[in-house]
Structure 1
Amino acid sequence: MIRYASRASLFAVCLAFANHALAADDTIVVGQSVALTGPLAENGKELSAGMKAYFDSVNAKGGVNGRKISLLVKDDASLPAKTLQNTQAFITDGVAVLAGYTGTANVALLVRTKKLKDADLSLVGPMTGADSLRAPFGTEEKAAGQGNYKLEGDTFQEGYVPQLFHIRAGYGDEARKIVKQAVSLGMQKMGVLYSDDAFGKSGLAAVSAALREHNLELASKGIYNLKTGDVKEAVKTINQPRPQGVVIIATGEPAQAFVQQYREVDPGAQLFALSAVSYKSLVKALGSKTQGVGISQVVPMPWNSLTPVSKEHQRTMKEFAPNVPLTYSTMEGHIIAKVITEAVRKGGTSRAKMREALEGLKSQDVGGYIVNFNDQERRGSRFVDITVIGREGELMR
């Protein structure tokens, strides 16, 4: 059975992060604008907790090259404009590197306003799989759709972003894995639920492209508005051709509502979700209706003792965050923090040196999980695993 920590205790832990003051010269300060409230709060708190626990473990051993690593956290409530405000504060305060931001729209706003580029400030491990933010080296900037996060006078520019260092696989990688799994099970008709924002549109494009690789076309798609979260019409539209499987490009309450309503109209359809979905929230809200839902994952299973980084994460959380349950998000935070620590070890003590050190992490093995950067590569990993929610609400491979 899944065990849940109290939201209050997690929130208290994360609020403590936000009270950190900028540190002295012997400390590397990592800035994180993350959702501690709002629709991505659960993932945000867990991601931050995993990062902090790893940094605390490093500092307990004396730090790296005589320097401690401090995590400075600001809540953005999943609001892109607040993310922009927090990032400007980090830039003004002189943080060495950013890490663990949540939300496609939030990160896209930083790119199109050129905040990272102008400050030459690296952002490591943003929690977004948008392929538009993973354009290869040499890709020219071009105007792109802005979803519902447009700010007056701004234009979202897609293209190679040297300041973004991605730890997780992209939505395209997740979609290809899901579609491959579906096709191997004999599915030919697939539907997609997606939101009217950068996350939803990126996911839709990724699934459509993955299907074309198998000479298939999307059977149906349904869009929902983020402001209302109402998926009723989307359920009807998607179900009309009776697809064998549906990919859910949604998070939080809309994802929960879709699973509940779609189970009622077609209980036999196979439902898939991207890694952005919290399986814990699904299980807590819907119980047995979640059985069989497939979820792609972009880091190793945190409870799997066969993977060195998983065992390390278990030990670290037990000692430095004993009241925080292990999740895929805490694992992702652990890996992000470990990558930054390795960059510090290689001389990343300033913004420029941090970017140079990150570029030097070629085929970096962090414990059975390989991160590969160089001066032209920012996709650190393409690892994707498929898990399924079991009868008791547990995740199975």
Structure 2
Amino acid sequence: MRNVVLLGSTGSIGTQTCEVIDDHRDSFRIVGMGAGGGHLSQLARQAVHFGVPVVGIANPGLEDEFLARFEAAGGTTRPRLVSGPQANIELAQLPADIVLNAITGSAGLLATMATLAAGTRLALANKESLVIGGRLVTDAAAPGQMVAVDSEHSAFAQCLRGGGRQEVRRLVLTASGGPFRGMTRDQLRHVTPEQALAHPTWQMGRVITINSATLVNKGLELLEAALLYDVALDDIQVVVHPQSIVHSGVEFADGATILQASPPDMKLPIGLALTWPERMPDVARACDWTTAASWTFEPLDSESFPAVELARKAGRAGGTAPAVLNGANEVCVDAFCKGQIGFLDITETIAQVLDHHLSSNHVPDGQLSVQAVLDADDWARGQACAVCRSRG
């Protein structure tokens, strides 16, 4: 029986993690669960269903409302509540076998660091905390302590079992291409938020769906892969694969490439992260080899979608640059969804803020600290807000 702490339980990854655990109740027990507080009824139902003893709410002042909804959902034994900015940190420090961090955005960094400091296995769905924390996170992790939940990074982990590290030539990072694959920059200029939120393959939260449309998400995944698997940025190639069946692969020195394939379903990498390196039976359906199918691959159009190269630029600079990239992007996604800026303004604003940072207040890897990362994130958000207002 593995004891699990689930952070971000009401989001897309969090709810699917609950489904995986519910299907394997003899293998897991949720000992702590947390969410921001935007979906209190859902959080209450989850807490009742799994009998969670400790519940965290990141936004303070919602304790009474949560308890009322907990009782309305049939709860009898009240859980211990932790709330406010420290809630996720307290949850991450609970005695557990696994902390699955599915918090959205840079807010997950402190919970990631707390998990690593506690010596608990970290199943990481919050890629942003690794991207912005960089070497602070990897240096804090013991060998094998971090396991990726992203389907692409789970694919890398599976494929890397096919050869030694010295045999790896490059990582092949697949991208669906999003809803605007094949469009020119002129065509992208007129994209609406409603169009950008209609991802052709995955059902995800708002931020990650917009990030998938701009390919910012693929840039963040590139940085995450480089850090997780200690591979040079230039040795990671992004390839567009619209069917989203091949989740990524590894090319080896002898010319062989091993790819991991499965129907697009996040339950598979979630289940594998919970039990790594073992596999659980019947987590997700397999490919249907009795039906004809075509898998296609094409190069990334970096002119129309410059986000991946922006991420490489930030990754090469290191230090606080990735935090600025991510912080500026989160502001731009919000501004775009509110109709304050256009689709192309997202990456153009990120580029402008990143250039300003690199020429003024960049902190390199050797001087990096958690506070420097948080300060850079805050600075980037302020700068991006100002640029967005000027573009509106």
Q: TM-score, normalized by length of structure 2? A: 0.33
Q: TM-score, normalized by length of structure 1? A: 0.33
**Greater fraction helix:** 2
